[in-house]
């Protein structure tokens, strides 16, 4: 059975990504994908996002950069919306994407800007 990290992670995950998004993700869990969802909720959202070393806003900006560099557009859009909920501004997100362009390549930044703009539109920002 999932322990305290799972419950703490579920709480943060819903706060950052919205309860509707998380409930939909968990609704689609089957026997094959259940261990992945448990791992993500416990380790990413429970253990890491509950650490005091960085505020949520900073974690969001770091995630945006990493997901952009890794070319994960679906996750990038989700985390851009979460970053807005965590208090990041569009300007801060833009600066992160510009930094991605210099350190990871212009094509990564171009896709990052494209996906961020879609996420802003979806979020009404």
Query: What does the DSSP assignment read for 36-77?
Result: HHHHIIIIIIIIITT-SSS-HHHHHHHHHHHHHHTT-HHHHH
Joined tokens for residue 108: 């990564």
CA angle, residues 74, 78, 92, in degrees to nearest 5: 115
pTM above 0.95, yes or no: no
| Claim to verify: residue 26 and residue 80 sit in the same structural domain | no
DSSP character at residue 78: H
Domain count, the chain: 2
What is the per-residue pLDDT across 23-70, written as a single tens digit (0 to 9) for each?
A: 998 998 999 999 999 999 999 999 999 999 999 999 999 999 999 999
CATH number reported for the structural domain that contains residue 91 in this entry:
1.20.1290.10
| Claim to verify: residue 43 and residue 97 sit in the same structural domain | no
Structural domain for 112, as ranges: 56-123
| Claim to verify: residue 66 and residue 109 sit in the same structural domain | yes
């Amino acid at each position: 059975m999932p322990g305290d990290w799972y419950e703490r992670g579920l709480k943060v995950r819903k706060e950052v990504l919205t309860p509707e998004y998380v409930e939909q993700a968990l609704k689609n869990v089957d026997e094959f994908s259940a261990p992945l969802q448990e791992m993500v909720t416990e380790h990413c959202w429970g253990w890491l996002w509950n650490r005091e070393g960085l505020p949520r806003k900073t974690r969001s900006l770091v995630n945006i950069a990493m997901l952009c560099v890794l070319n994960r557009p679906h996750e990038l859009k989700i985390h851009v919306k979460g970053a807005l909920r965590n208090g990041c501004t569009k300007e801060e997100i833009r600066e992160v994407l510009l930094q991605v362009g210099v350190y990871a390549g212009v094509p990564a930044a171009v896709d990052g800007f494209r996906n961020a703009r879609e996420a802003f539109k979806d979020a009404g920002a």
